[in-house]
Chains A and B, each alone.
Chain A
Amino acid sequence: MELRGDLVTAVDTHAFVVGPGHRDERAEREAALFALPVVTIRRFRLIHVRALLTDAELETLARKLCIDPVHGWWEPAEPADRASAGPGETQLETGLRPGVTDREGAELVRAAREAGVNVDAATIGTRWIIGGNLSDTELAVLSDRILHNEVIERWALGHLEPAFVGSGDEAPAVVTIAIRGLDTDGLAALNQVRRLGLDPEEMEVIRDHFTMQGRDPTDAELETLAQTWSEHCAHKTFRAHITVNEADGSTSEVDGLLKSYLRAATDTIDAPWVRSAFVDNAGIVQFDDRFDLALKAETHNHPSALEPFGGANTGVGGVVRDILGVSAKPIAVTDVLCFGPDDTDPSGLPDGVLHPRRIREGVIHGIGDYGNKIGVPTIAGAVVHDPRYTTTPLVFAGCVGLLPTGSNPTAPRPDDSIVVLGGAVGRDGVGGATFSSQTMGIDTADVAGSSVQIGDPIVEKGLIDVVVGARDARLYNAITDCGAGGLSSAVGEMAHELGARVDIAAVPLKYAGLAPWEIWLSEAQERMVMAVPDPEPVLAVARRWGVDAAVIGKFTGDGRLCVVDSVSDRTIIDLDCRFLHDGRPRRRMTAVMRQPRIQRESVNVATGDPVGDLLRLLAHPSIRSNEDVVRTFDHEIMGGTVVRPYGGPEGDGPADGTTQRPPGTSSGRAMTIGVGVNALYGAIDAYAMGWQVVDEAVRNAVLGGADPNQLSLLDNFAWGKPTDPLTLGQIVAACRACHDAALAFNAPFVSGKDSLYNEFVGPDGAADPVAPTLVITAVGLVEDPAVVPLTGAVAAGNDVWLVGQAAGALGGSHYEMIHPNLGAGAGGDLPAPQAGAPATHRAVASLISEGIVVSGHDLSEGGLAVAAAEWAFGGRRGLELVADVLTADPHVLFGEGPARYLLEVAPENAPRLEEVDGTQRLGRVTDGDDVVIGPISVTHGAIGSAFTGHIE
């Protein structure tokens, strides 16, 4: 992939390398995975600048700004052949492609100018010194698979020539696209060539619209329609009319999944704490008398598969902007990550697919980098591993924000100025929405280069300060974020009722040479749009926080979206807003439902080795500790964290719900976040999955201290191609479960996001769809954070109580998964929805609010024995669970299902527990490190080495 602007390679560039470098052990491990004969990999910073510098100026630049004064050094990076630093070593250099966001380069330019050295542009790359005798082919594998990512970086053996985006490029003009008179084939060809991603009926409607207008559209108009009507922006599947072929042979009609199930549940519940649901960038619910919470969870799957760091990075950035888009200050970030197995054989991966470990490392680094830098705690989440995520990893990023009640204005007025805030426009974000609405294949990385971006959390941190400042001073009438579709979708949505007139020449650009439609449609990560009556005060706030801002037009009132270029005096876009937003023909789709539950015969599944089973489950990639991941996220910033993802005396006991007192509030309340996700149920029975993940999210929130009578839910769907009726049938089933479970738990959905077309089309043309995955996030209010149960068992002598059924289901369980020899489906049915579950959750919450639950843990992946083992280990306490009910039956020890908890309660409160339906005493907490769970007896050492991977 080449950028379409001309690259300038000129003599006025300087390259130098900075030490000390360091060994890159991660890269060495990865190289071993690919069986490359690498001995060592060392990395050094490589700095390219475009400037005419004297030797003295170069010395100043390098010494003053680029090296550590105590032990740093620098030297010019001279052009050389591939020969290198020493015998048996090879040098190669990597650097960002011109035009990719480069915060560090931009800061170097700024700092150099302040130091009196005039630098025009700078970029920071890496010089690698590879120890070991590698062939050119092996070096290429090393570089392609491990050291650089072709999507955003370039590389060279030996010396990498500096390259920058040209500054004097002439902008291409707007182009008219002949669409009138095209037949079906002609429309299909146009759709294909421009990668519009539209349905054939949609192409016809666009053709007919312009035929009636008596003119052809401009490229900008056509691209604007494609973005606005994309799956990503318009949620065509969730709004489609669906004919459902039911499993019993009957047919039913669904008038939109969103309307009929998700929003319908919310409308029926009509919860007084919901301020707004499904209307803006995020849902808004009441927190206390003065504040509301804004809730949103997003997916960022396609970009994360191609460029894991940038994809996850911008995934967090995007959901944070959604929260800013309802005038809220972000206070918590969540992440749910689904990867292929770490031990996937690299030689079996199709071309174009990154190894799951590389995706995992990049995604985790990307999330931490963004959350840590914007100063918002990353406090809740989950990591799931399954082979069906190998080619299509999933990244769900969520955000909670805080805003004073009634402080989010949503109505632009005629004559309001349109102000853009934040990052300037480049070509790096062109086509994000249409790209993410299509399936991926081996060539996706080639075409997607311009659709994958690197975030700039420092600009976003500034944006947070500007939005909060402008909000508190009541400086704007409406606000939204520039997500996928860029200004096109942001201004387009805000102008839906009024119309707007924009001067494209007023939009700040990163560099020249962009076509008008690119400026209009490029997704910039860190950018917001406001409708303001008086621009100057907003511009002043932006200047104060170091954020760029510009006035680019006005809202009009004539109902037309009009974009002009004042320089060339040409009209780029002149569209009727009604056609743009309401002209899309409604999609009609067909869904086929499978049997609601696959009746599977249960066989004798006991192995006779429950200790071995427990240890294998504790080491399962979806159960084992993710503490090493969580430690790379700042979960303490803002000082409000009450319950962390890992707690207990050694900080390695997994918590359930995570709880936070929102900074700046004084009611003493807290909020808690619970997450539910399951990789296994969806393909078997999506309806059962829906219930189970809602229940899991609710259980976690209850243990985080939530009042189950005031929960709010977020949904995230990640599925394959909905045009496959069976796939759509799964989605329908999951939506029905969401609806039914929401009503049962009296917990409304307030926002959600669907990500479809998650499948990888391999070189043989066969599609590899993702494991159907529903993620539910439950956010609850905590009246009194002081009574929230602790993480891990606490005090010897306390009783251990089980709330809920002793036996769970083994169908689709992790136990079934670690015993493939038992045969597919050996575990029998999936857990069924339980009518009594809401009452169980309320009973546990009531015990917690009375302050008598010392600690607790919910029963989820791996069932009772896994929960008890994690809980004992996390608290460094022994357990003596010897009740008769704890037999060797795997359904009891390892079965999974809804509404089950372990609680630690002082012996004097036993009568209170006995009053509650479905409770039984299993035993007690002990000192020492022996953990006895019925027939199982293990030590903390054995649990710890299985669960954490560290030998104690």
Chain B
Amino acid sequence: MSAPRVLIPVALGTNRDGDLADAFRLAGAEPVTVPLTDLRAGLGGVGDYQILALPGGFSYGDALGAGRLFGLDLIGWFADRLYEAVDAGKPIIGICNGFQALVRTGILPGDEGPAATATLAENESGRFECRWITLDPSPASVWTAELSDALRCPVAHGEGRFVSADLDAIEGRKGVVLRYGVGGYPHNPNGSVGDVAGITDPTGLILGMMPHPENHIHEWQDPLRGRGGTGNCLPLFRAGVRAA
């Protein structure tokens, strides 16, 4: 079987697309990075793809709220492709700014149809924070189904505090699939309610998360190497690739 293709759309200001492509490549997939301007112009030879991955960054400078204009792009001139992917059962992942975009569009949490019910607000500390954290996984998503051990990777964001009027509904269907381990600042770096780091939609296909698993795919990246470091995140990407 040939390697599944991963479509990575990028907006002006997206900047972790390269890191994400590296992770998928290492996980055995074939990433294709395409500017949204190309998709919009019908260029880029997108062709067939099996995974959609929305990368991190500061799309459009995070003007008017992180991920907001990226989300409008997705809904505005990318919606068909997006919903087609959801309907076809393709795994989708949105990381950091990509997660913010999925939440702004209402695709996540996705309990109530296409209206936003959650948001990623400014960190409780009021500033951008970059630090390594621990993630406890639970299995309700294809991306996390087979993870048993905690993951470790960095966060790097200023607007990552998960807020939802409807957290009970998400918790009720076990939709919180990644939680900051230990809890409390700085382990929960942004003050998210329920230590939420990542959620899935009801189908389990769409994963959105603030931390950056794409930055812990090699042992040498781990700041705890030589001190019993663990929690390589490559299995998360491998799971998505297997599910494609």
Footprint of B on A, CB under 8 Å? 22, 25-26, 65-66, 68-71, 103-104, 106-108, 110-111, 114-115, 368, 372-375, 456-458, 461-462, 543-546, 630-639, 641-642, 644, 647, 649, 651, 661, 663, 785-786, 790, 794, 854
Contact = CB atoms under 8 A, between A and B. Distances in A.
Contact of B156 (A108, A634, A785): A634
Given A373-B15, A632-B129, A636-B212, A70 B119 contact: yes
Interface stretch (B1-9, B55-63, B143-151, B236-244): B55-63
Contact of A107 (B64, B156, B221, B223): B64
B224 A649 contact: yes
Contacts of A458: 12-13, 58, 60-61
Nearest to A47: B64
Contact of A68 (B76, B119, B225): B119
Contacts of B220: 642, 661, 785-786
Nearest to B154: A636
Contacts of B215: 636-637, 639
A643 to B, nearest CB: 9
B164 to A, nearest CB: 8
Interface centre among B16, B156, B217 (most CB of A within 10 A): B156
Interface string B40-80: 00000000000000000110110111001100100010000
Contact of B57 (A108, A375, A631, A636): A375
Interface of B: 12-13, 15-16, 18-19, 22, 35, 37-38, 57-58, 60-61, 63-65, 68-69, 72, 76, 104, 115-119, 121-122, 126-132, 154, 156, 163, 165, 212, 214-215, 217-218, 220-221, 223-227
Contacts of A65: 64, 68, 72
A321 B214 CA distance: 27
Contacts of A456: 61
Contact of B226 (A543, A544, A636, A790): A790
Given A372-B156, A639-B214, 11 more contacts: A25-B126, A65-B68, A69-B104, A103-B63, A106-B63, A111-B64, A115-B72, A461-B13, A631-B130, A642-B220, A663-B22
B69 A111 contact: yes
A545 B154 CA distance: 28
B60 A544 contact: no
B19 A461 contact: no
Contacts, number: 132
Given A461-B13, A546-B37, A794-B227, A631 B131 contact: yes
A857 to B, nearest CB: 15
A458 B117 CA distance: 29
A700 B22 CA distance: 30
Contacts of B131: 631, 651
Nearest to B214: A639
A374 B128 CA distance: 15
Contact of A637 (B15, B122, B217): B15
Given A70-B119, A546-B35, A637 B63 contact: no
A632 B128 contact: yes
B16 A375 contact: yes
Nearest to A111: B69
A636 B165 contact: no
| Interface majority SS (helix, strand, loop, mixed), chain A | mixed
A69 B115 contact: yes
Contacts of A642: 220-221
A651 B129 CA distance: 13
A639 B22 contact: yes
Nearest to B16: A637
A633 B129 CA distance: 7
A269 B146 CA distance: 57
A790 B224 CA distance: 9
B123 to A, nearest CB: 10
Interface centre among B119, B132, B163, B226 (most CB of A within 10 A): B226
B89 to A, nearest CB: 28
Interface centre among A70, A111, A641 (most CB of B within 10 A): A70
Contacts of A71: 119, 163
Contacts of B65: 68
A58 to B, nearest CB: 15
B163 A638 contact: no
6 contacts: A22-B122, A70-B118, A104-B63, A373-B57, A634-B128, A639-B215
B64 A108 contact: yes
Contact of A631 (B35, B129, B218, B221): B129
A670 to B, nearest CB: 9
B182 to A, nearest CB: 12
A711 B16 CA distance: 30
B116 A69 contact: yes
A257 to B, nearest CB: 39
Ranked nearest first, the 10 interchain pairs of A and B with the lowest CB-CB distance are A375-B15, A107-B63, A104-B63, A636-B154, A458-B61, A458-B13, A634-B156, A546-B12, A69-B116, A373-B58
Given A458-B61, A637-B16, A647 B223 contact: yes
A639 B217 contact: yes
A729 B98 CA distance: 56
A652 to B, nearest CB: 10
Contact of B19 (A103, A545, A637): A637
A636 B61 CA distance: 19
Contacts of A641: 221
B101 to A, nearest CB: 13
B130 A634 contact: yes
Nearest to A26: B126
Nearest to B155: A636
Given A461-B15, A636-B130, A636-B212, A373 B223 contact: no
A785 B69 CA distance: 40
Contact of B61 (A115, A373, A638, A651): A373
Interface centre among A69, A368, A642, A661 (most CB of B within 10 A): A69
A110 B208 CA distance: 27
A26 B118 CA distance: 27
A651 B119 CA distance: 29
Given A373-B58, A633-B130, A639-B22, A66 B64 contact: yes
A103 B58 CA distance: 12
B199 to A, nearest CB: 15
Contacts of A854: 226
A26 to B, nearest CB: 8
A107 B116 contact: no
Contacts of A790: 225-227
A70 B109 CA distance: 13
A686 B226 CA distance: 41
B43 to A, nearest CB: 8
Nearest to A627: B131
A104 B117 contact: no
Contacts of A544: 35, 37-38
A783 to B, nearest CB: 14
Nearest to A68: B119
A457 B35 contact: no
Nearest to B212: A636
A374 B115 CA distance: 31
A641 B223 CA distance: 9
B63 A108 contact: yes
Contacts of A457: 58, 61
B37 A543 contact: yes
Nearest to A66: B64
B38 A103 contact: no
B197 to A, nearest CB: 16
Contacts of B126: 25-26
Contacts of B64: 65-66, 104, 107-108, 111
Contacts of B57: 373, 375
A630 B115 CA distance: 37
Contact of A114 (B37, B72, B104, B226): B72
A638 B37 contact: no
A636 B131 CA distance: 9
Nearest to A644: B223
B227 A374 contact: no
Contacts of B22: 639, 663
